[in-house]
Amino acid sequence: MNLQLAVMQLLNGLGSGMIIFLVAIGLSIIFGTLKVLNLAHAAIYMLGAYLCFWLSQIVLAHFPGNFWLVIFLAPLGTALIGALVEIFIIRRIYGQDLMYQFILTFGLSLVIADLVKLCWGMEVHYVPIPWPFQGSVPVLGAYLLKYQLFLYMAGTSVFAGLLLLMNYTKLGMLIRAVTYHRDMANALGINVPKVYTGVFMLGSCLAGFGGVAAAPVTSITLGMDHIVLVQCFIVVVIGGMGSITGAFLGSIILGLLNSFGILYLPQLALVFGFVLMAIILIARPYGLMGEPMEAEEKL
Amino acid sequence: MQTAESHTLLVRISIAAAVVTAFLLPLWLHAGWISLITEMLILSIAACGYNLMMGYGGMVSFGPAGQYALGAYTTGVLLVKTNIPFALAMTAGPVCAALLSIVIGWFCVRRTEVYFSLLTLAFAQIVYTVIQKWYGFTGGDDGLVGIRVPEILSGIDKYYFFTVLVALFCLFVMWKMINSPFGKMIQGIRENPRRAEFISLNVKRYQLGIFVTSAFFLGVAGSLYSGFNGSIFPANIDVAKSTDIIVVCLMGGMHHFLGPVLGSIAYILINKIIANYTQYWALVLGIIIIGLVLYAQGGIAGFISERYSALRREA
């Protein structure tokens, strides 16, 4: 393999890793705090991509720089939907059997996906790459889509922003307190349900943002959520549930694994992620960056 | 005591009536319906087998389609590529699913809760991807077509009888199993794994046992399906199959032995009926699922037994 190709795969792998990160981090935060594995998360990502198409291509079609407006509007929309979903549906099953959480959020994903179908039909939609990221730049003899640069920026700034939010703000402290010990936080006067709603909104907002960021480089179609959901699972397992740094690392690893896997063994590229996930679950179930949680002992 | 006896008598009579009706159905029903009922029976075996692990063992697997696929493809490949007798291929499916599940399960039962679920999902996806990509052996995306069925079973009515027999046998074995000491221990482990360990049960070994048993019956369902359909494609064994099986258990009621059977009848009926009226079948299904989780976690069987005991109290 020559250098040019390697550089190309490296850069593209990083870009797709960033998109996975934007979606997976929401799933990870929601699981970390609410202890709910939200199977509807990828459906919200899909909704974000469709909102991006609808707002930028139809509603605001003649508005200059519409993509950059939509990049704020669409995540806002998904965050609102996330809030409604949490308040009216998810809230009722906290602390219940895992089974019911899975099934409920799976049902939600079906509803969201079919509502998307109802609103925007079955056609495949596209969003053009926005100004000023059209075209490509030469990097070490390879050509890199300029839009990838935007993806790197979006991924790393969300990563940095979340780290700052969690570690250096009052809000982050509240979230950590609720994550660490829900009942004690409640006893100390923290409004736990409000924090839960907030975290769910944050997660949904990030999923929507991921959808918008992915829109110009993927075809927006029904079923685009399935593959992303399993990729998110892989990432949160590699990184460790609830760990921000872990999700970032995990996304980069998975992105590179996919892009180089396709180069070497195209037939089995999809398997690598799952094999890695299985290995991590067997050897180190709390992930690369997670900490072993002491299970609440039931006697 | 007397009421309890009359209660078991009633249950026995209704089961006997259901069995007799099952054998007589082809006399009255159109072939389309018979094929629908065959599908229900196959799904029932899969869901009951899965429920051994999920409802009785408390282990929520995300990947029942993996074991189902192992059964379906083993039988399918044997019948398409070799000349071995039908009965042997039908047995090989479940056995192969169970044997591979010893290896898979050995890893899986070492994890609990969400990690168990994700690990089973990972293994199911590995099985799926290998099947989908291994064109030379499994036919890949083109599937396996022309799965031969012996003369004696060709024709939907004959295959239907065969499926009824297999389903009855499987249900009987599963029923015996959950009422055996092994089954009781599994339920004890579900209630409290830690206490089970304290009374010196080898929890992991029992969980592996139920994992493999469940895999065997999922394999039976898979094998039956490949014979029934005459062909098998990766789309028959993807994640959607797993969710089908899980939803069926919830819909029927996972705390009753026959819950998954009721669930598969309801699920396939709803599927066919709604799909006739609208292309938004998933929307309706999603709303039903959300309603079930929020308002009727016992499923159909839970609802019936609640009504029934209320009636008995009044009487």
* Contact present, B72 and B223 (Cβ < 8 Å): yes
Single-letter amino acid, residue A95: G
pLDDT number for residue A202: 93
Closest chain A C-alpha to B308 CA, distance in angstroms: 25
In whole angstroms, give the CA distance from residue B258 to residue B246.
15
For an interface test with A, which of B116, B293, B294, B297 has the most A Cβ atoms less than 10 Å from its Cβ? B293
Residue A169: how many CB atoms within 10 A of its CB?
Answer: 11
Residue B235, min C-alpha distance to chain A (Å): 14
Average confidence score pLDDT of chain B: 87
**pLDDT for the residue numbered A298:** 37
Q: Measure the CA–CA gap between A268 and B134, rounded to whole angstroms.
A: 9
β-pair type (B144-145, B231-232) = antiparallel
The model's pLDDT over B224-272, given as tens digits with 9 standing for 90+, comes to 999 898 889 988 888 888 988 998 998 898 888 889 999 999 999 988 8
Residue of A nearest to B108 (CA): A282
The count of domains in chain A is 1
Displacement of CA B215 from its chain's centroid (Å): 9
Alpha-carbon gap, residue A65 to A147, rounded angstroms: 15
Read off the pLDDT of residues B167-183 as tens digits, 9 standing for 90 and up: 999 999 999 999 999 99
Q: Which residues contact B161 (CB under 8 A, 6 or more apart)?
A: B23, B26
Residue of chain A whose alpha carbon sits nearest to that of B195: A299
Model confidence band, residue A1 (pLDDT cutoffs 50, 70, 90): low
Please indicate whether residue A46 or residue B313 has the higher confidence score (pLDDT). A46
pLDDT of residue A292: 67
Domain that holds residue A148: 20-222
Q: What is the 3-state secondary structure (H, E, C) of A135-192?
A: CEEEECCEEEEHHHHHHHHHHHHHHHHHHHHHHHCHHHHHHHHHHHCHHHHHHCCCCH
Residue contact B286–A110, C-beta within 8 A: yes
At A260 the pLDDT is: 86
Whether the per-residue pLDDT at A122 is higher than 50: the answer is yes
| Residue A18, pLDDT score | 93
In a domain, A244, yes or no: no
Q: Please give the residue of chain A at the shortest CA–CA distance from B281.
A: A114
Residue of A281, A286, A294, A296 to mutate when probing chain B, most B C-beta within 10 A: A281
Query: What distance in Å separates the CA atoms of residue B246 and residue B51, rounded to the nearest whole number?
Result: 8
Continuous segment of H or E residues that includes residue A95: none
Are B293 and A111 in contact (CB < 8 Å)? Answer: no
B192 touches chain A (CB under 8 A): yes
Q: What is the mean pLDDT of residues B7-28?
A: 82
Q: At residue A299, does pLDDT exceed 50?
A: no
Instruction: Give the A:B interface size as CB pairs under 8 Å.
Output: 119
> Is residue A33, in this structure, part of any structural domain at all?
yes
Q: Has residue A43 been placed in a domain? A: yes
Q: In this predicted complex, what is the ipTM?
A: 0.82
Predicted confidence at residue A286, as pLDDT, reads 81
d(CA A269, CA A263): 8
Alpha-carbon B72 to chain mean position? 13
Question: Cβ separation of B113 and A297 shorter than 8 Å?
Answer: no
B18 in A contact zone (CB under 8 Å): no
- Within-domain flag for A234: no
For residue A230, give the nearest of B111, B125, B285 by CB distance: B125
pLDDT confidence band for B73 (50 / 70 / 90):
very high
pLDDT mean over A43-55 = 92
Contacts of A230 in chain B (CB under 8 A): 121, 125, 239
A176 within a domain of the structure (yes/no): yes
Q: How many CB atoms lie within 10 A of CB B178?
A: 21
Nearest to B283 among A93, A110, A241 (CB): A110
CB contact (8 A) between residue A98 and residue B297: no
Residue A168 located in a structural domain: yes
Say yes or no to pLDDT of A232 above 60. Answer: yes
pLDDT grade, residue A112 (50/70/90)? very high
Instruction: Establish if A238 belongs to a structural domain.
Output: no
Domain for residue A267, yes or no?
Answer: no
pLDDT at A215: 86
- pLDDT tens, A203-221? 999 999 999 999 888 888 8
Within 8 A of A268 by CB-CB distance, chain B residues are: 129-130, 133
| Closest-CA residue to A23 (of A135, A158, A146) | A158
Residue in A28, A226, A235, A271 to test binding to B, most B beta-carbons within 10 Å:
A271
Q: Do A93 and B294 touch (CB under 8 A)?
A: yes
What mean pLDDT value characterizes chain A? 86
pLDDT score at B3:
58
- Residue B165's nearest CA partner among B178, B152, B183, B179 is B152
Please give the share of chain A, as a percent, with pLDDT higher than 70.
Answer: 97
| pLDDT for the residue numbered B300 | 86
Q: CB of B85 within 8 Å of any CB in chain A?
A: no
pLDDT of A267 above 80: no
Distance (Å) from the alpha carbon of B286 to chain A's nearest alpha carbon: 4
A279: pLDDT strictly greater than 60: yes
Confidence band, pLDDT 50/70/90 cuts, at residue A147: confident
Which chain B residues touch A226 with a CB distance below 8 Å? 239
The per-residue pLDDT for range B183-224, each reduced to its tens digit, is 999 998 988 888 888 888 888 899 999 999 999 999 999 999
Sign of CA dihedral B102, B107, B112, B116: negative
Does position A295 have pLDDT exceeding 60, yes or no? no
Residue B1: its pLDDT value, please? 43
Q: Which residues on chain A place their C-beta less than 8 Å from a C-beta of chain B?
A: 31, 37, 89, 92-93, 97-100, 102-104, 106-111, 113-115, 117-118, 226, 230, 233-234, 237, 241, 267-268, 270-271, 274-275, 277-278, 281-282, 285, 295, 297-299
